Structure 1
Amino acid sequence: MKKEFIGIDVSKNTLDVSLHFSKAHKVFSNTAEGINKLLAWADEQVKGFERAFCFEHTGIYSLLLCEFMEQRQLIYYVIPGLELKRSLGIQRGKNDKVDAQAIARYACLFEQELTRHELPSATLLKLKNLLSYRSKLIRQRTAHLNHITELKKVLLQTQDNPIVASSQKIVEMLTQEIRQIEKLMGVQIKRDEKISQTFNNITSIKGIGLILAATLITSTEDFKAFRTWRQFACYAGIAPFEHRSGTSIKGKTRISPLGNRTLKTLLSQAAATALQHDPEIKLYYHRRLKAGKSKMSTINVIRNKIVSRAFAVAKRNTPYVNLVKYAA
């Protein structure tokens, strides 16, 4: 059966829809009623053809659309915005209709490389939302802390300053809210037996705490979205790549600037913690430095070690065993 590729440009209020082969285009509201009309219009336009929907990952704006696709068991692909942008090459001008056409074309060209999307479980969605909200609260707290620091540098007297006092109260309130969100995350994890088991296994690794564990679980959909830890390391932006071509370009092997910055930061913090509390990691770190390796490359190797350990214990469904303490 022939297949028609339907590209959808998702925004806060609207859904621009374009068909790749027939070139039909229409705009719908990003609501339950609008999505029902979109699917009915697609049925009418694509009679006798198999349909494949494709749209960018836009967080909460595309969540309702995903839920409708899941309910009707439709084939749909969700692609990262940066991946789509880089695939388009040089463009002149931009609008929602052009973007929808580009998405439909992308789905047609790269169909063999795309993986059919499935919504994660309700627990993972709730956990992801809590992590996102926590990050927002931390950014707000950091902004107020920076404001307090700047005021203390400028003002001679800050003890009775109402702005400083107000900012400090906001910081305290945000800190309490962050702790409350972390408690809710723990409760949410314990409610799901499978996720709770995964959480207990990966937190047995030195360096992995609540936030990194929850981020790993949601990013990997409980370690099902990536086949190997190396694939995930590439996604996180900690996998080293060669940089050379012919005889003229002989750059050092380095990590890519592309990747999940949140994961990269959390894994750096985990590496620092492991370096303090894991004798095996500490020994490995100093041995590499003595061999002339740089500190940053060694830290990156430790980040990769933590990821590989997390995948190993998650796949085995057993806690991490530190073999060093059993060595003769």
Structure 2
Amino acid sequence: MGTVSYLPRDYDVFIGIDVDKNSFSFTVQDHNMMNRSKKIPSSPEQLYNYIGNNFSNQRVLCAYEAGPTGYNLHDYLSQKDQLCLVLSPFSIPKASNERVKTNRLDSERIVRYLKSGELRPIRVPSEPYRQLRQLIGMRENYSCQSTTAKQRIKSLLLFEHLNEHIDDTRQNWSGMYIDRLKQIPCSGTIRCKLDLLLADLAYCHTQQLRVLKELKALCDKHPDIDRYRGYLQSIPGIGSVIALTILARIGDPEHLANVREIGAFIGVVPKERSTGDTIQRGSVTRLGNNTFRRLIIEASWIAIKYDTELAQFYHRIKARHHPRIASRKAIVAVARKLTQRIYKVLKEQRTYEIR
């Protein structure tokens, strides 16, 4: 998701809202001295009625911080033609010496920065992309649970001196290998624990397959998503899952403003400290999604095997650095270059052609 912009001078009244499951705490300010704080039940309808009853002839701008309650408040107010911005928690400045946190203070901080124009609201994704993000999130969760189950199985084998069975875990966890684990001779308690861990692993695998099936159905239902997936898959190193993960994170590619937005989502934009004619760039910001960044790095390792241009670029960057960090520096540089290709195929709506 990208960001959207607004001009405070276009509005008369500003409302900062702190949303939780039971209540809305909000603060109202205008360009003069008005400053009201109020708490109501967690009902978008009540908030809309409050705005209509008190500020019917004024231009009102609302904003709240994205959280576990989702986009329900935004959707309701948007249907009523009341503009409501959604903010990233990382975009709201916080003083380093703050020691008190309440819902009212949070709403005051939101409205203060909203009125000053210092906030950069996120672009709320459309319903198909929300569904895609939910499915991708579920797949990531089951993938993590699967990895945890495998690690627990290896730990159990090591702890019980069944070391001869650990070497095989370096291979893919094939059905044949899992069958061998089920037949390991061991005591009743150990057998029970191992079977439970294998059952966890099998459950995660089944759920991952189910999510992949739902992802395919979603692509069939929404041709735009399927078309963008095809563009992304034409880039070496990017498969179906990574392509859909990219679309889930950035939302509708039509809204992408520039290639740095994708780099920011991933967290591979370099830090920069510049003054006058001096420009200093450091390591990547790492502000993006960790899973997203890991997948792009994996795609970069694959890409340099099949794309001669990227391979040459990788070795050129690698030669500039100390051997201890050369590979890591070079592959991050490849990932940044990969984001340029991602941006290009999405904006130009065409497949990528290897030179």
CA contact (8 A) 1:141 1:171 kept: yes
Of structures 1 and 2, the larger Rg is shown by: 2
Contact 1:67 1:119 in 2 (8 A): no
1:7–1:17 CA contact under 8 A, matched in 2:
yes
Runs (5+) with no aligned partner, structure 2 = 1-9, 163-183
Report the Cα distance in structure 1 between the residues aligned to 2:227 and 2:242, rounded to whole angstroms.
15
Residue 29, structure 1, aligned to residue 41, structure 2: yes
1:156–1:297: structure 2 CA closer, same or farther, 3 Å change rule? Answer: closer
Question: Which whole-Å deviations, capped at 9, do the CAs of 1:108-154 have from their partners, x for residues lacking one?
Answer: 1126x645x65423211111110111122223223322222222222
What RMSD, in angstroms, separates the aligned Cα atoms of the two structures?
A: 2.5
The yes-or-no answer on 1:253 pairing with 2:282 is yes
Distance in 2 between the 1:257 and 1:193 partners?
A: 32
How does the TM-score come out when normalised to structure 1? 0.87
How do 1:1-328 residues align onto structure 2 when only pairs under 5 Å count? 2-21=11-30, 22-30=34-42, 34-59=43-68, 61-84=69-92, 86-110=93-117, 114=120, 119-156=124-161, 159-160=185-186, 161=190, 162-243=192-273, 253-292=282-321, 294-323=326-355
CA distance in 1, matches of 2:65, 2:40: 16
How far the C-alpha of 1:206 sits from its partner, in A, is: 0.7
Cα distance in 2 for partners of 1:159, 1:3 equals 75
One-letter identity of the residue aligned with 2:131: K
Q: 1:12 to 1:155 in 2, by over 3 A?
A: farther
Question: C-alpha displacement at 1:163, in angstroms?
Answer: 0.9
Partners of 1:18 and 1:104 within 8 A in 2: yes
Aligned to 1:326: none
SS in structure 2 at match of 1:224: helix
Q: Tell me, what secondary structure is at the counterpart of 1:62?
A: coil
Report the AA paired with residue 239 of structure 2: G
CA shift, 1:80, in A, is 0.9
Q: Mean Cα displacement is larger for which, 5-14 or 250-259?
A: 250-259
Specify every segment of 5 or more residues in structure 1 that has no aligned partner in the other structure, as ranges: 324-328
Compute the TM-score of the two structures, normalised by the length of structure 2: 0.81
Residue range with higher mean Cα deviation, 186-195 or 169-178? 186-195
| d(CA) in 1 for partners of 2:147, 2:320 | 39
From the superposition, tell whether residues 245 and 119 of structure 1 become closer, same or farther in structure 2 (CA, over 3 Å).
closer
Query: CA 1:251/1:315 → structure 2, altered by over 3 Å: closer, same or farther?
Result: closer
Matched-pair contact (CA < 8 Å) for 1:127–1:188: yes
Q: Is the 8 A contact 2:300 2:331 kept in 1?
A: yes
Which amino acid in the other structure matches residue 104 of structure 1? V
Question: Is the CA contact 1:51–1:75 (under 8 Å) kept in the aligned structure 2?
Answer: yes
SS at match of 2:253: coil
**Secondary structure of the residue that 1:12 maps to in structure 2?**
coil
Q: Aligned AA for 2:28?
A: L
- Structure 1 residue 272 displacement after superposition: 1.2
Q: SS at the partner of 2:35?
A: coil
Distance 1:273-1:159 versus aligned 2 partners, 3 A rule: farther
Residues 182-219 of structure 1 show CA distances to partners (whole Å, capped at 9, x for unaligned) of 22112212221222111101110011122221122122
Q: d(CA) in 1 for partners of 2:97 and 2:321?
A: 43
